[in-house]
Structure 1
Amino acid sequence: ARLGKQTVVVNKDVPGFIVNRILARVNEAACWMVTRGEATIQEVDSALIYKAGLPMGAFILMDFTGIDVVCFIGDAMLRRGFKSHPCPLIVEKCQQKKFGVKSGEGFYKYPAPGKFQWPEVPKSAGDRIDVSYLLAPAVNEAAYLLREGIATRDDIDKAVKLGLNWPKGPLELADEIGIDAVVKTLEEWRSKTGYEEYEPDPLLREMAAKGKLGKKTGEGFYTYVKAEEKKLETLIVRYEPGIAWIILNRPERLNAISPKMVEELWKVLDEIEQLDYDKVRVVVITGTGRAFSAGADVTAFMGATPITIFKTSRKLQMLFERMESLDRPVICGLNGYTLGGGLELAMSCDFRIAAETAELGQPEINLGFIPGAGGTQRLPRLIGRDRAKELIFTGDRIPAREAERLDLVNKVVPADKLEQELRSFANKLAEKPPLALAMAKYAINFGLEAPQWAGMMLEATQFGILFSTEDVIEGVSSFLQKKKPQFKGR
């Protein structure tokens, strides 16, 4: 402590202590995924860097450290009882004397022996990789260390954050991923490999059985403010730490947007905007059952006059404008059919993440009318005039992957990973300065509706206003002190 260093207490002598054991599990997972043809080296490193926020991907780090050193440490740990099955890809590099940066080539090639140059790893390369699949074995190892009393929860996470420069420790990450999701992923590893080291640790199984699943239940390895949930007539509203979930809940009607749902959405949005940023920083909206929303409830239109229909259209438009101008990010999780008014609702959100099974479309033309809640305006702004005309004129549905290609959705994930992806992205945004997020949202959304010079003036104004906030002081001072900022929204 007198040297200005932080201490980590290891209570028992185990091979690899803390950091090397946890890093070994990440390296093994990365290597086996590539060996089995499930991913490329670039895809794995991209996911670890850009999704998990690690300073280096597993393969870049092994090259930087020296693959011979990785082999030596792995062999020493194995001889001392560490349960592991060395990945042939790492062993092969050692045998070929391709040690990484020091030899000029390892998993990547470098300009000359000893000369490090950051390899080309595109952010988009890791889009299809489930980063929790790479991290679950490390969480399992951390759970073992905790259960065996080798180190405390705080010391395990501290060691990894300080020793590997991870933004969060493995037990913190486990709480974000969800303990149940970690157990399920480990069971997949165990089934695929047959290796004992992937058997979920008894501590993880016990926590899952007790419902201690992490942030989403209010308790995991850490304790959080417990989630509050209330059920309205057409919605479920759940408050988790930093996140408000709005869940459309008319599954028997494919979450069709009824007048009552419109009324309840207005009230919930008003309620959220009145809450401090300490309580809610990000909003997630998704649906129950087979649909996000199949559109407006057309039964409400039967027998209505044109003026009544006009007023109904304007109410929906104003609701979605309200969603679009909310002072915090709104993420839409498309869990199934997203059609008509459902797609119009989704397009008013800041981000759209879709399950692979989702289908999107504006089918109103097939019923004799046109989109009436913003579809003719938002859709061309998102995917271009001609593509929008094609979807609206034909009334065709498109699968989620096609919607992603058209930039109608930001990302597509397996259906069983949607909630996890939504929570992970929401938690990432919740760590950012909330006032700056609001200003950025306003500058982009409103600036695009004005001439560029007016948008520039709006940007400069928002930029200047932010320098009156405490968050700017926190951000700049944390950057200079090389520590993680704690933004308060003030």
Structure 2
Amino acid sequence: MASVGAVTRILLGKNVLNTSRVAALSNTGLVKFYSAAPSYENIKTKVVGSKKNVGLIQLYRPKALNALCKPLFQELGQAVKAFDADDSISAIIITGNEKAFAAGADIKEMQNNSYSTNQKAGFLQEWEDVSNCGKPIIAAVNGFALGGGCELAMLCDIIYAGEKAKFGQPEINIGTIPGAGGTQRLPRYVGKSKAMEIVLTGNFIDAHEAEKMGLVSRVFPVDKLLEETIKLAERIGTHSPLIVKMAKQAVNQAYETNLKAGLQYEKSIFYGTFATADRKEGMTAFIEKRPPNFKNE
């Protein structure tokens, strides 16, 4: 394997994560670089964390403020599926750079689309690769998360934001509406009135307002965001991957059904944990006052 310094130069080059910051993270063991990392044009992937169990995906179209084009989303879907299939990965982080998480969809790419071409091509179909991921996905949002960028953040399970982040659904300004979940997920995060205000005005909201609304879990200084997000992913990674996946399914069900059906679904998943070795190990370890040794079984 190449040295960290050499691989850093190979992988980063023009990368928006500055080299001093990467070096600092590397020295702490939070970031691990691979000379044989998959080759992508619109994203960059790394394995991070002190236990090397967190998959990091960085959107990488800096000249376009990470505008979400089809090739980018195809690569994002491939990376998410690869990390989801890797048993050594406990959680996934999606991030951008300090200027933009993603400043919307690529307008030039879809300017000449028609209703029929959208239907025939299954436009935006690639987004399902992210929503179908079984492992937790955390959005680390700095800068602009607008339009499709905001929708991508909401596809994730948890959103952490840098203090200068801006969220919004400005599609109304260009004669269309959100098409990748903005009108459906946003009300579930912030309620009908706030969602209507955001969607119908196209106005932006800052990170602290987004936290107050419930769109964002926590807000950090810009230079601390990635580090804190990695800590969160590592904390999730201390638990049984099997039980984490079941818990994610149960929480997601709350957005898919009514309370009565949701409670019944939760109970069935809860019962199901008692068929796992990790549930037995977790309770046994608690009683014996020792750390659990989960086997993902």
Give the structure-1-normalised TM-score. 0.53
Matches within 5 A, 1:42-81: none
Given the alignment of the two structures, is residue 474 of structure 1 paired with residue 281 of structure 2, yes or no? yes
Matches within 5 A, 1:236-255: 236-240=44-48, 241-255=52-66
What amino acid is the match of 2:43?
A: L
Equivalent position of 2:91 in the other structure? 282
Q: 2:193 aligns with which of 386, 407, 427?
A: 386
Equivalent position of 2:70 in the other structure? 259
Equivalent position of 2:182 in the other structure? 375
Please state how far the C-alpha of 1:334 moved relative to its aligned partner: 0.3
Please state how far the C-alpha of 1:217 moved relative to its aligned partner: 3.8
Distance 1:366 1:354 in 2: 25
Contact 1:257 1:341 in 2 (8 A): yes
Distance 2:269 2:222 in 1: 38
Please state how far the C-alpha of 1:228 moved relative to its aligned partner: 7.0
Distance 2:240 2:39 in 1: 30
- Once the two structures are superposed, residues 242-286 of structure 1 have per-residue CA deviations (whole angstroms, 9 ceiling, x without a partner) of 11111100011000001101211221222222222xx11100000
Secondary structure, aligned partner of 2:249: helix
| CA 1:212–1:366: 2 relative to 1, 3 Å | same
Please state how far the C-alpha of 1:420 moved relative to its aligned partner: 0.9
Equivalent position of 2:118 in the other structure? 309
Please state how far the C-alpha of 1:213 moved relative to its aligned partner: 2.5
Contact 1:294 1:340 in 2 (8 A): yes
What amino acid is the match of 2:59?
A: L
Contact 2:159 2:216 in 1 (8 A): yes
Please state how far the C-alpha of 1:481 moved relative to its aligned partner: 1.2
Please state how far the C-alpha of 1:466 moved relative to its aligned partner: 1.4
Deviates more, 1:246-255 or 1:285-294: 285-294
Matches within 5 A, 1:92-171: none
Mark the structure with the bigger radius of gyration.
1
Contact 1:321 1:348 in 2 (8 A): no
Whose RCO is larger (CA < 8 A, sep 6+)?
Answer: 2
Please state how far the C-alpha of 1:315 moved relative to its aligned partner: 4.1
Structure 2 unaligned residues grouped into runs of 5+:
1-19
Please state how far the C-alpha of 1:473 moved relative to its aligned partner: 1.8
Equivalent position of 1:235 in the other structure? 43
Matches within 5 A, 1:165-180: none
Please state how far the C-alpha of 1:446 moved relative to its aligned partner: 2.1
Please state how far the C-alpha of 1:450 moved relative to its aligned partner: 1.6
What amino acid is the match of 1:253?
A: A
Distance 1:451 1:354 in 2: 30
The percentage of aligned residue pairs carrying the same residue is 38
Please state how far the C-alpha of 1:459 moved relative to its aligned partner: 1.4
What amino acid is the match of 1:407?
A: G
Distance 1:263 1:300 in 2: 14
Secondary structure, aligned partner of 1:232: coil
Equivalent position of 1:198 in the other structure? none
Structure showing the higher helix proportion among its residues = 1
Please state how far the C-alpha of 1:326 moved relative to its aligned partner: 1.6
Distance 1:245 1:300 in 2: 26
Q: 1:463 aligns with which of 262, 270, 280?
A: 270
Equivalent position of 2:148 in the other structure? 341
Contact 1:325 1:442 in 2 (8 A): no
Moved over 3 A (4+): 226-231, 309-312, 318-322
Equivalent position of 2:5 in the other structure? none
What amino acid is the match of 1:306?
A: Y
Distance 1:452 1:272 in 2: 32
Please state how far the C-alpha of 1:231 moved relative to its aligned partner: 4.1
Please state how far the C-alpha of 1:321 moved relative to its aligned partner: 4.0
Contact 2:138 2:159 in 1 (8 A): yes
Give the structure-2-normalised TM-score. 0.86
Secondary structure, aligned partner of 2:31: helix
Q: Give the superposed CA RMSD.
A: 2.2
Structure showing the higher strand proportion among its residues = 2
Structure 1 unaligned residues grouped into runs of 5+:
1-179, 182-206, 219-225
